[in-house]
A and B are shown apart, each in its own frame.
Chain A
Amino acid sequence: MKINWFKYAAPTAFYPLAGRLVPVLAVAAAALVLFALYWGFFETPERLGGTNPQKEYYRIIFIHVPAAWMSMWLYLVLAAWSAVGLVFNTRLSFMMTNAVAPTGAIFTFLALWTGAFWGRPSWGTYWDWDPRLTSELILFFLYIGFMALHSAIDDSRRADRAAALLAIVGLVMLPIIYWSINCPDPNNCAALHQRSSLTDIESNILTAMLVMTLGFWLYSFAAAFARLRNIILLREQDSAWVRTMVDAAGAGGPANAGGGDALDANRRGVSA
């Protein structure tokens, strides 16, 4: 069996596919998030180990950790599509980077925001220039920089390449964020932020956290695909397939028969 892997590399083919995926992904994401919220708030133990009750602000873990993971994962996706776009010069890859960036920026902001509201009761401060917090803040600025650079250049193909390069250079932040708390020698880590270890977490708390991560991940797919469809429509609005699609949808316009200039008719002929 021969599969044409490049079929969906064309915006024409990907647009309807994404349209079918978005509602499915959105519903699945909502279901997982709701389940994780229920599990996190009602099925977790009141006390761990000793007799002291859990301090309730720990529940921020159910969104803080998933948001922080998504912020780094989406940056990796952003940089990967940037690299694919630069190497193969495929339009859809660059559109994908623009579709992912705002969602990544939102999750980065949320990681910082939820962290601040966790830090205040546990460390006594909303913000500290701790290595982990600072490097995550720089990641946020990288997302903002990517979007700002792209929108500052009028020619979209030049904007694509410039922003893609910035995204790849910014990759340097990911290992810095990771090792800002997980450094090989703990004595070298002057971090306020606690080290991460999945094996030390109570299983119900871990369940809620991982299900929430899956929910955020599916949400990111849904949001990125929905944005990708908008970008495709905007960039391809003069192409024959968008025109025929809009005409077919009616849009309250006059019937195709008779209307349209010669160029229009010509383009339709090509697409058919």
Chain B
Amino acid sequence: MQGLIDFLSQGGYAFYVWSAFGMTFALLIAEALVLRRSRRTILQRVGRLARLRMQNVPPGEHR
């Protein structure tokens, strides 16, 4: 337990160390999630447009 507290306090520099590391990994993970979500969105849209074409609806009206 004491070891964990020592680790978290980083010799009194916890604020600086965890602000730096926290922002870094928050941004990298956020980027990965955003990429995955936008991929789904694009695929959904392309699929929707393909279905509209099948039904002979001009795709321009739904873009």
A contact set with B: CB distance below 8 Å: 26, 41, 53-57, 59-60, 63-64, 67, 102-103, 106, 109-110, 113-114, 117-118, 120-121, 219, 222-223, 226-227, 229-230, 233-234, 237, 242-243, 246-247, 249, 251-254, 259-261, 264
**A55 and B49 contact, CB distance less than 8 A:** no
**B24 and A226 contact, CB distance less than 8 A:** no
**B20 and A113 contact, CB distance less than 8 A:** yes
**B35 and A252 contact, CB distance less than 8 A:** no
Tell me the bound Cα distance from A28 to B52 in angstroms: 40
Residues 14-50 of B contacting A (Cβ, < 8 Å) = 16-17, 19-21, 23-24, 27-28, 31-32, 35-36, 38-39, 42-43, 45-47, 49-50
**Contacts A41-B7, A118-B20, A229-B39; is A106 near B50 (CB within 8 Å)?**
no
Distance between B8 CB and nearest chain A CB, rounded to angstroms: 11
B contact set with A: CB distance below 8 Å: 7, 10-13, 16-17, 19-21, 23-24, 27-28, 31-32, 35-36, 38-39, 42-43, 45-47, 49-51, 53-54, 56
**A56 and B54 contact, CB distance less than 8 A:** no
**B28 and A227 contact, CB distance less than 8 A:** no
Distance between A132 CB and nearest chain B CB, rounded to angstroms: 17
Residues of B contacting A54 with CB < 8 Å?
11
Distance between B55 CB and nearest chain A CB, rounded to angstroms: 8
Residues of A contacting B49 with CB < 8 Å?
237
18 contacts between A and B (CB under 8 A): A55-B11, A55-B13, A57-B16, A60-B16, A110-B23, A113-B24, A117-B17, A117-B20, A118-B16, A222-B32, A226-B35, A230-B35, A246-B47, A249-B47, A251-B43, A251-B47, A251-B50, A251-B51
**A110 and B27 contact, CB distance less than 8 A:** yes
Tell me the bound Cα distance from A226 to B32 in angstroms: 9
**B11 and A67 contact, CB distance less than 8 A:** no
**A103 and B50 contact, CB distance less than 8 A:** no
**Contacts A60-B16, A114-B24, A118-B16; is A233 near B46 (CB within 8 Å)?**
yes
Residues of B contacting A120 with CB < 8 Å?
16
**A56 and B32 contact, CB distance less than 8 A:** no
**A259 and B54 contact, CB distance less than 8 A:** yes
Residues of A contacting B24 with CB < 8 Å?
63, 67, 110, 113-114
Given A233-B42, A233-B46, A246-B50, 13 more A-B residue pairs with CB atoms under 8 Å apart are A56-B13, A57-B13, A64-B20, A110-B24, A117-B16, A118-B20, A223-B32, A230-B38, A233-B43, A242-B46, A246-B46, A253-B51, A261-B53
Residue on B nearest A41 in the bound complex, by CB: B7
Residues of B contacting A114 with CB < 8 Å?
20, 23-24
Residues of B contacting A247 with CB < 8 Å?
50
**A113 and B23 contact, CB distance less than 8 A:** yes
